[in-house]
Amino acid sequence: MAPAPSGNQWSWDADDHKGVSNYVSLCLTMNHPMKFAALKEERISKPRYLGIQPEVLLRDGVLFSADIANKADVALRPLDEALAEIDEQVIYTRTDWRDPQVKARLDAAERYEILVPKRVPLGLISRVF
């Protein structure tokens, strides 16, 4: 087990029920809502971030979730089918987060998850910060 697992028993059970226990869940921003839950519940004290090479997206079986992946009503789709759904603009460009519509888009994008089967190879992890 990880020295500071960010999940709790409830989330591990939900992962099992949803069938995502054998996936590595990656987020696209540093503000995924589950980070805040883990900090609040003191399951982690100092988040670490991994820079992952984009080639991870080309691996077989990668899935996309537009919300927390282990939620019961959230669809998991092959990444290639979901690409048009990803709001790249709000993630990768400067936007005015004071605009309520832009902020709503950002809030939604911060819940995205990329699910990689089994593991992320060490060669695809470029840095830790």
CA-only gyration radius of the chain, Å: 15
- Distance between start and end Cα atoms, the chain: 21
What is the rounded distance in angstroms from the CA atom of residue 63 to the CA atom of residue 124?
17
In tens, the pLDDT along 36-78 reads 888 998 888 888 899 999 999 999 999 999 999 999 999 999 9
- Asked whether residue 8 carries a pLDDT value surpassing 60, the answer given is yes
Task: State the pTM of this model.
Answer: 0.88
